């Protein structure tokens, strides 16, 4: 690796890079090499997953997003050069950079007792239509972690035996594995709405509808969820349910990359907030 870094340094000089820039690039590549050595990974063995894990390592160390992005940009430059010159054979992730997160309040989620209390209160709904719909809606938020706008756009054909297929802003986002209980609640809801026989339901491709509309808008979903706050004695929102889903993944031992994948986070920094 030492010889390869020296060749990379010569390449940078040929490219007429500033001396300070060259020193910085070489320093960052050496830092990456030290990390590889601690994991006993040779450059010829490098995989895409290793590069992503190095990014996780930088986040875990508490580096600022801007600092991490600067280092990742340098690393990608080195890997592109090394790949073109056949020193490594790795599928370099196109988007290594992290999205800058805006400062926000502390992330909130439900504990097990509060979660159980919510499910218990929902089961006492007397209106069969609202009971089936609201249980399905809450279960998807709580155990699949959809954003409220994703839930509003969810189609009835997005449900398979073990997964929910999610679209965000009209584009495929991710497949989320879910347990049998979630699928069961969704099937019960579909059966109830179909039995109602209203054309506005039968003609609608959307999973969640209101008593008058073929699609439940995000604000209506939020209204239903937040309506349980008084009965529970604490605030509950769609975002808190999504956060609870992410936290449960962590408690079950899923990696930060899995949390990012299943929740559809743009930045791995967001996923780390649940650890």
Cα Rg for the chain, rounded, in angstroms?
24
Angle at CA of residue 51, ends 59 and 72, nearest 5°: 60
The domain defined by 112-272 carries CATH number 1.10.443.10: yes
d(CA 211, CA 234): 27
The span from the first CA to the last CA of the chain, in angstroms, equals 34
Q: What confidence score (pLDDT) does residue 269 get? A: 85
The CATH 1.10.150 portion of the chain extends over 2-84
d(CA 189, CA 127): 13
The CATH 1.10.443.10 portion of the chain extends over 112-272
Domain at 2-84, CATH from 1.10.3470, 1.10.10, 2.60.40, 1.10.150: 1.10.150
Burial class (CB in 10 A: 0-12, 13-18, 19+), 235: exposed
Helix (H, G, I), strand (E, B) or coil at 106: coil
Would you say 235 and 229 are in contact if contact means Cβ atoms under 8 Å apart? yes
**Total residues belonging to the chain:** 275
Q: What confidence score (pLDDT) does residue 32 get? A: 93
CB half-sphere exposure, 224, CA atoms < 13 A: 26
**pTM value?**
0.73
Q: What confidence score (pLDDT) does residue 142 get? A: 97
The encoded tokens of residue 148 equal 């409220």
Q: What confidence score (pLDDT) does residue 116 get? A: 97
Helix (H, G, I), strand (E, B) or coil at 115: helix
Host H or E run for residue 176: strand 171-177
Would you say 25 and 12 are in contact if contact means Cβ atoms under 8 Å apart? yes
pLDDT per residue, tens digit, the chain (275 aa), is 788 999 999 999 999 999 998 999 999 999 999 999 999 998 888 998 899 889 988 988 888 888 888 889 899 999 999 999 998 888 887 778 887 666 555 799 999 999 999 999 999 999 999 999 999 999 999 999 999 999 999 999 999 999 999 998 788 999 999 999 999 999 999 999 999 989 999 999 999 999 889 999 999 999 999 999 999 999 999 999 999 999 999 999 998 889 999 999 988 889 989 98
d(CA 214, CA 264): 26
Ramachandran area for residue 40 (φ above 0: left; ψ -120 to 50: alpha; else beta): left
């Amino acid at each position: 690796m030492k010889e390869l870094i020296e060749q990379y340094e010569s390449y940078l000089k040929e490219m007429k890079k500033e001396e300070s820039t060259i020193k910085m690039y070489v320093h960052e590549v050496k830092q990456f090499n030290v990390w590889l050595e601690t994991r006993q990974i040779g450059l010829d063995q490098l995989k895409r997953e290793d590069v992503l894990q190095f990014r996780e390592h930088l986040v875990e160390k508490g580096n600022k997003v801007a600092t991490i992005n600067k280092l990742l940009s340098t690393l990608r430059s080195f890997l592109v050069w090394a790949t073109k010159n056949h020193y490594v054979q790795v599928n370099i992730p196109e988007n290594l950079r992290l999205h800058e997160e805006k400062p926000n309040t502390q992330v909130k989620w439900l504990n097990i007792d509060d979660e159980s209390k919510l499910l218990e209160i929902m089961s006492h709904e007397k209106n069969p239509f609202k009971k089936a719909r609201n249980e399905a809606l809450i279960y998807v938020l709580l155990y699949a972690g959809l954003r409220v706008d994703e839930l509003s756009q969810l189609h009835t054909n997005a449900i398979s035996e073990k997964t929910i297929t999610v679209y965000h802003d009209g584009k495929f986002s991710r497949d989320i594995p879910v347990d049998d209980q979630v699928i069961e609640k969704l099937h019960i809801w579909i059966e109830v709405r179909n039995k109602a026989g209203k054309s506005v339901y039968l003609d609608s491709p959307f999973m969640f509808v209101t008593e008058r509309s073929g699609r439940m808008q995000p604000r209506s979903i939020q209204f239903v969820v937040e309506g349980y706050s008084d009965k529970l004695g604490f605030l509950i929102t769609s975002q808190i349910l999504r956060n609870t889903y992410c936290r449960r993944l962590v408690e079950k031992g899923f990696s930060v990359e899995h949390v990012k994948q299943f929740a559809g986070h743009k930045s791995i920094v967001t996923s780390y907030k649940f650890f």
